[in-house]
Structure 1
């Protein structure tokens, strides 16, 4: 049985508003329990969460259809389903009688699927009165320790934890029947910064060499906000024309505020007919639009930040180095002249200049394409592992402050993090930093050894490599008196 995911407009009351929900369709029609579950969580969960739930449910339904007569109870079915997500369904002979032809998925992917299905299976057991596929069972001592550690961490960092019940929850002693495998632990170095030595060339020759000067200025403004103020690329596209001000204390510097796309205060003290002052109401009443973070497909622009700087629900950018504020204002004045020549039916600051979409809000996918094209103009390709991607500019901003000795609390404020721990990934030394540090330390060790102040375990590496490697390097490529490769 084919299972297809698609979007549907669902009317849940007599108002004129329809909920646009991602659903699953089969030969028997809409998978109604899934739709009901998504509607109960519609207002509190994000689009990406809904996509994960639908994707995982689709896999589960496909597995159930391919193995209708194989299992006697739902728990065994779910256990085997999880196993097949890890192992795949293709045998050693390359055949799959089930017809699924799944290949093994990573631990992170499988755990994400199992986590997405957890709430759905709970909902089915509670609301549909069916047997639970993945119930809570008594946890092993090892799992109880892990649960307690997680409980302690949540309470330790909870802002209102001092007013909550400190007794250990009974759920600490419980665990899911199917929990998934433990993921690999990663070090703090989970991010690579955009190379500082490459930025000027990328800004001038890459972005600045676009055929349309309007596009060049627009993309340069976005990259300045990312590289010099640590903004995420998605947050930059929420900027409205009203959100850029001239610093009253320095008329050559720009003040930039990024408002929450829904709850941010509307500009110019605007009020709706019912007295609402938020941006969601402003967009609906003046332009019949929905905030970017509530739209889908290529029109969707996410919002990750949960911490704002002001009761009007905005974050203010902090330029570092501060000279970038003057550069931004100069480019912004040029950008406004270009913006005035196109017809717009929205308040967003960045627009498309393509003939088919001229004047419409700039899409995140279009920016990423233009970003890749700018790198190509200077002979590079996008490579996150090398630091050449939009989000790596935020990492560069954090590491720049760290190297300049900016206080961690100030860095937290500048990066708009809710916790000091959140900035570790942006400021911890990278692999290249550690390598360079140890190379410098080796040179210092050699100097101290030559001065007789310390004992180097291997004073002469050339002498060490002369003998003892005949069994692993019989041709003397790397070892011996006349190593062939080492001498080159």
Structure 2
């Protein structure tokens, strides 16, 4: 079997136009200009320049694949069979169905396998945004149109005019967030989030977060065990903030130690949040510690930042709403952590620090959290599963479900979960099957009670007898009892 052919490489390089930023560079052949200038302009466009590095890399992957398909279309054995005005459409079909024929041959040489609906939607979303930017660049004359650019813009225009466009009119992806529509939703399929099971959560806290051995150095002055001596306080605090405050795992790693006040916890924008003197965080990190905000770096210390409702626009921050029980538990753990774990002179302002002997005192990483959570789940005898709601994001769903069960209005739920719109909370607050059934049964009982009492004109709540023949008309004999048996098995 021949190896797949590719016509590009992707490398992450510092950008001379955006200070301290790394931007993907789609490297191509000398004949094609060494690197894809269209992609370079795309990542520096003001609409996309503030996107995360992971978003850029994923977009670069799609752009690279699109360029590969364009180059394959110039191969004589394959290019002669396609119209380059149909490049976009043919590319999407190739992504969806693959390029390998039934006999194992592949005239493109790309050797692509069929994509899942989810991956196809992702590719289509990035391609659409890239092509729309490419059209703007061409109209404004901001780039020199290469043959690749000309063919891409031409095929986009052709696709835009089609009544049944694969790119635009059939399941068009969302454009602002960079997240594609979930293709399963067109089939009416949605995974219903229940949140982390309460019994499992208790077991995780009591068993999973407990240290393998007690640390006597953390005993109190009376020689008694403490939370610090018995538990992994990093993981314990992280779980409390996620399940009791609804934080995403990436948001944990933007919290400064000083954000924890005796009676309130603030969540600041990682770049534009302002301290009491009005100094923004990016300046504070650079001037005091020589650091960049963690959403603007690459590597193991990176932490993403999803759009977050800011309620205090003067200082670019929002209050974290911890549920009462979790509020008390958090501060008990925090004071133990501050006293026994946190270093005296840290080289950064972040709340969570690594306790690994090799990296002690450095900012804790998302991978460190994932490793600790995995070890805790194994210790508690549980497995991580997205579909069983035993992963870390299920903690946020638990928070949302708790808010709903408390009877809070959608407006308050939106504020507590820091969503920009009420619609955003729906995936977190959808009721479980058991809850829906419980409410249906209770509603039916109320209606029956009302009929038996004051409101006698309500319809009777009983299931129809479909087999007993209680129908005035049944010309097809559908509900007529039929005796089946030897020589009588036909109606």
Provide the TM-score with structure 2 as the length reference: 0.74
Looking at structure 2, the residues matched to 352 and 10 of structure 1 have their Cα atoms a distance apart, in angstroms, of 30
**1:260 matched to 2:269:** yes
Cα contact 1:398–1:411 (8 A) shared by 2: yes
Looking at structure 1, the residues matched to 56 and 203 of structure 2 have their Cα atoms a distance apart, in angstroms, of 41
Cα contact 1:9–1:21 (8 A) shared by 2: yes
Number of residue pairs aligned between Structure 1 and Structure 2:
419
Counterpart secondary structure, 2:68: helix
**1:31 matched to 2:47:** no
Residue of structure 2 equivalent to 1:463? none
Per-residue deviation, residues 3-49 of structure 1 (Å, max 9, x unmatched): 22111123249xxx454211122343322332232223463333233
Cα contact 2:25–2:40 (8 A) shared by 1: yes
Residue of structure 1 equivalent to 2:304? 302
Cα contact 1:8–1:23 (8 A) shared by 2: yes
Residue of structure 1 equivalent to 2:9? 4
Choose from 248, 255, 260 the match for 1:232. Answer: 248
CA shift, 1:90, in A, is: 1.6
Choose from 80, 83, 92 the match for 2:90. Answer: 80
**1:312 matched to 2:315:** yes
Cα contact 2:10–2:25 (8 A) shared by 1: yes
* Shift in alpha-carbon separation, 1:419–1:119, aligned structure 2, 3 A: closer
CA shift, 1:112, in A, is: 2.4
* Shift in alpha-carbon separation, 1:191–1:118, aligned structure 2, 3 A: same
Residue of structure 2 equivalent to 1:105? 115
List aligned pairs for 1:165-244, cutoff 5 A.
Answer: 184=186, 186=188, 190-209=192-211, 213=228, 216-244=232-260
* Shift in alpha-carbon separation, 1:258–1:185, aligned structure 2, 3 A: farther
Root mean square deviation, CA, Å: 4.0
Cα contact 1:23–1:31 (8 A) shared by 2: yes
Residue of structure 1 equivalent to 2:455? none
CA shift, 1:332, in A, is: 0.6
Cα contact 2:309–2:415 (8 A) shared by 1: no
**1:94 matched to 2:99:** no
Counterpart secondary structure, 1:22: strand
Looking at structure 1, the residues matched to 205 and 115 of structure 2 have their Cα atoms a distance apart, in angstroms, of 39
Residue of structure 2 equivalent to 1:407? 409
Looking at structure 1, the residues matched to 373 and 483 of structure 2 have their Cα atoms a distance apart, in angstroms, of 52
Counterpart secondary structure, 1:298: coil
In structure 2, list runs of 5 or more residues that go unmatched. Answer: 1-5, 216-227, 450-459, 468-481, 487-491
**1:50 matched to 2:56:** yes
Per-residue deviation, residues 86-122 of structure 1 (Å, max 9, x unmatched): 1111222233343322111133322322331234334
Cα contact 2:26–2:35 (8 A) shared by 1: yes
Looking at structure 2, the residues matched to 34 and 80 of structure 1 have their Cα atoms a distance apart, in angstroms, of 20
CA shift, 1:399, in A, is: 0.8
List aligned pairs for 1:282-431, cutoff 5 A.
Answer: 282-310=284-312, 311-320=314-323, 322-341=324-343, 344-431=346-433
Looking at structure 2, the residues matched to 360 and 428 of structure 1 have their Cα atoms a distance apart, in angstroms, of 39
CA shift, 1:308, in A, is: 1.1
CA shift, 1:51, in A, is: 1.8
Per-residue deviation, residues 289-343 of structure 1 (Å, max 9, x unmatched): 11011112332211113311212111211122x1221211111111112344465
Per-residue deviation, residues 451-480 of structure 1 (Å, max 9, x unmatched): xx75445799xxxxxx99999xxxxxxxxx
Cα contact 1:189–1:429 (8 A) shared by 2: no
Counterpart secondary structure, 2:261: strand
* Shift in alpha-carbon separation, 1:102–1:210, aligned structure 2, 3 A: farther
**1:61 matched to 2:67:** yes
Looking at structure 1, the residues matched to 84 and 299 of structure 2 have their Cα atoms a distance apart, in angstroms, of 35
* Shift in alpha-carbon separation, 1:102–1:417, aligned structure 2, 3 A: same
* Shift in alpha-carbon separation, 1:289–1:45, aligned structure 2, 3 A: same
Cα contact 1:6–1:24 (8 A) shared by 2: yes
In structure 1, list runs of 5 or more residues that go unmatched. Answer: 155-178, 248-254, 272-276, 448-452, 461-466, 472-488
